Structure 1
Amino acid sequence: MWLLKKLSPDFKTIADFRKDNRGAIKRVCREFVLLCKKRDLFGGELVGIDGSKFKAVNSKKKNFNEAKLLCDIYSVLFLMI
């Protein structure tokens, strides 16, 4: 910010930059992923992203961790018996 004296580029400027440098951006992203893999920064889990947008909710009732999920699974299994 100090370098540009708080100036920010217009959305068209950013869009043109991305369009004009598409190949370079892809190569930089690819190199970054390879660097992260080389340094073991990825856990190796399978992740799928479909581009859907969801409203973020992180209340105590709506968020889940492994322990909560196991508890819910056991509750359902117990009800089935």
Structure 2
Amino acid sequence: MKIDYANRDACKACSLRSRCTQSFRRVSGLENEAVVDRMAARLAARPDMMDHRQNSVEHPFGTIKQWMGQNAFLMGRLENVCGEFSLIALAYNIRWAITLVSVTGLIAAARA
């Protein structure tokens, strides 16, 4: 959420007002800007973490979009979207397990 802040009294009393603006200045920022700043600082300290995240976390989402054709959710309301994504994630995980251990290995593991 974007927050706008304006202090007209401070602008009227400011010695730089003639160089700044004719009316008053408005400063805007995000509601959770402190969180964004902390994340940017963490990323600047360890830039390799973004590469790790792209390799481990974002790959499943790209795969789901590509081979399942899931560019958007079909359902409305958060509760329904959560259910739809759970089914998509389950299908992805089953397909990945089949790739790793084959169908017979997956059936044997399910019976154990």
Instruction: Normalising by structure 1, report the TM-score.
Output: 0.29
Rg larger in 1 or in 2?
2
Instruction: Normalising by structure 2, report the TM-score.
Output: 0.24
Higher normalized contact order (CA 8 Å, seq sep 6+, divided by chain length):
2
The structure whose residues are more often helix, as a share, is 2
